[in-house]
Amino acid sequence: MRYARSSVRRAAVGVYLALAAQIATFACLVVFEQARGEALARQVAQLGADPAAPGAAAVTGAMTWFAVLILLVVAATVAAGFSYFAWLRQAGATPGMIAIAWFVPVLNLAAPALLLHALREDAGLREGRRKVWLVMVAAWWASWLGILFLIGSRLPVTGAPQGKDLTGLGVPELAVAVLAALLCAVTVHEVTEARMSARPSGIAPRLKLLPALRSLPRHTYPARD
């Protein structure tokens, strides 16, 4: 039991570090966009797809940095996702629960928040704490959906700069991303501490075994003299 509790705490630390890396790389991308994005996108649009066009070499270095930042943001986001799923597993969610909640279309618009709430309730949720917890979960999920919407609506459909900017990402997107990361960390901390302080009674595991025990064949033994 002590090992299981330490495992969920280590998994939570992994989530915190991955979220920090995600926000750091995303902030660097936004700063690059604000500093060079508009001018660089205009230069790329003027050059077209010809790498031998006059002036193409002048933007190669900047575009390389831009590509590196994009890769870092993607890598940090993937790492954050894997670390969060690993934490969910340590917190008590089964792989099936995680897959259904996060990867079934339409259902994944609300199921991840419901799964998180179920884990918190399973660890013991006092009635006086319930409203605060529900507000945190709702705010986290709303901010997460908000950043997905903002990024999806800002990025160019063709994947190429349209002459105005490179990604369309700016301070509003960064602010919502920071809010989503902070609320994610807060909810992870809440569930983790609840799991660490909970004292399982052992009743639930035995109840899960009752159907299997009832299905076992019953044997009768002769009475001993």
Q: Is 157 a residue whose pLDDT tops 60?
A: no
Residue 197 tokens, joined: 């302080």
pLDDT at 136: 96
Q: What is the mean pLDDT of residues 195-213?
A: 46
Residue 128, pLDDT score: 82
Q: How far apart are CA 125 and CA 104, in angstroms?
A: 28
Name the residue with higher pLDDT: 207 or 145.
145
* Residue 95 burial (CB count, 10 A): 10
The predicted structure's pLDDT at residue 197: 78
Lowest average pLDDT, out of 71-75, 88-92, 138-142, goes to: 88-92
Higher pLDDT, 52 or 166: 166
Residue 223 has pLDDT above 50, yes or no: no
Per-residue pLDDT, averaged over 198-212, amounts to 39
Rounded Cα gap, residues 147 and 102, in angstroms: 16
Higher pLDDT, 77 or 40: 77
Question: What is the Cβ-side half-sphere exposure of residue 6, based on CA atoms within 13 angstroms?
Answer: 3
Mean pLDDT of the chain: 80
Is the Cβ–Cβ distance between 196 and 5 less than 8 Å? yes
Tell me the mean pLDDT in the region 208-213: 35
